Amino acid sequence: MDFDDTPEEASYRARVRSVLTDRAADLLHVAPGEPVDARSREAELRATQGVLAEEGLVGVTWPREYGGQGGTLVQQAIVSQELARARVPTLVNHIGIGMCGPTVIAHGSDDQRSRYLARLLRADDVWCQLFSEPASGSDLAALRTSAVRDGEDWVVNGQKVWTTLAHVSDFGILLTRTDPERPKHAGLTMFVVDMHAPGVTVRPLRQMSGGADFNEVFFDDVRIPDSERLGEPGEGWRVALTTLMNERVAIGGAGSDIGQSPEALAAHARERLPALDPERQALARQAVGRALVASLATRYTGYRRFTTLSQGGVPGPEASAGKLGGTAAARLVADAGVRLLGDDAVLGATADGDDTWQRAQAYVPGIAIAGGTDQVLRNILGERVLGLPSEPRTDKTAPFSTGGRR
């Protein structure tokens, strides 16, 4: 395991850092922990991604023929680290870049690739991923949103939920049920959907952290041309696996922190510990120690994946371990940060209006669900890493029932 950049990686990091310095005036910057509302700052976020795309820092791992840089996952991770260091917020089109775009590359037509990919990289169009439903989250293949063929179109009816950035999106990839008579994994089809099409309704969901990045989306007789299908009818699950694989890698990361960093917690502890009474101080020290050990251990385990990637390896189920460990560490960090607030922990913000740690604690539980719940990830590790037998799955062979809905 190597914690240091190779000479080539160090050179690449220096170039990225130089670009971010030279173009600083053209980029949106935020303070550590500052929330960024995509709706109110949409224009700034789109412009920032456009500048980064111009400089070759967007779509780093995408093939060159589709507008990417043909780079490595390590280079992509370096860009992410340097953006965080420069306090540039998460790209507004991160769902499109990390999940939707790779799905269009793998399963889209030449016409779809030419129409969508370059605009996606520049954030001319923002994309979302329309998978989860009120009754199908971890069991994604149980979804009920239907698409019925009508000539050269498909007519879609149903509901999606927890759709990140749907309220600012122009397009999305939509997983639907097109054949309820087949086993549930075999009756699905994926489409590109215009989020501004008649019949599409987006309603933001207020999160307990105070933000509203998630949405519920309703489809009422929405017509989608067959030319916007991704893959063949009934092959939606295979197409969706491409999306899910990319999502797991994006969230699992390689040495990147989820939530607040251990350095932020350490600085917070230096400031707040002296103000606590001896008993609370002792408990807070224990919480901070556990959180720092867990967070740094997760980071260094990520560096092992870094080394594998540097040597040309392909990420596998270990991305699930990275995401699982990262969310556990993020919970400990957020909990320790709130404990350090003392009596202020029961308030929405401290006296000076700082709510960094309260928001962190409210935000982290959702990350333990996104990209696969902790339980799903443990199943993946048990079956694909430890070789344990999987449970019988009659639902993969039996016809799917929509409960009367078609």
Active site residue ranges: 247
Q: Using alpha carbons, list the distances in angstroms from residue 373 to 87, 289, 325.
A: 29, 26, 12
Tokens linked to 95: 């769902």
Residue 239's alpha-carbon distances to 47, 107, 236, in angstroms, are 31, 7, 5
* Cα 182 to Cα 192: distance, rounded to the nearest angstrom: 23
> In the chain, what is the straight-line distance between the N-terminal and C-terminal CA atoms, in Å?
53
Helix (H, G, I), strand (E, B) or coil at 399: strand
Residue 175's beta-bridge partner residues? 190
Instruction: Single out the residue of 274, 280, 230, 259 nearest to residue 327, CA to CA.
Output: 259
Q: Which helix (H) or strand (E) holds 307?
A: helix 278-310
Name the β-bridge partners of 155.
Answer: 148, 223
Instruction: For residue 301, give every residue at least 6 positions away whose Cβ sits within 8 Å of its Cβ, in sequence order, or none.
Output: 321, 322, 325
Between CA 28 and CA 52 the distance in angstroms is 11
Other Cβ atoms less than 10 A from the Cβ of 344: the count is: 18
CB 89 within 8 A of CB 156: no
Residue 91 C-alpha from the chain's centroid:
11
Query: Which residues have CB under 8 Å from 197's CB, separation 6+?
Result: 222, 223, 224
CA-CA distance, 19 to 358, in Å (whole number)? Answer: 34
Q: Is 29 helix (H, G, I), strand (E, B) or coil?
A: coil
123 SS3 class: coil
Q: Which two tokens stand for residue 288?
A: 């901070």
Cα–Cα distance measured from residue 382 to residue 386, given in angstroms and rounded to the nearest whole number: 5
172 near 130, Cβ under 8 Å?
yes
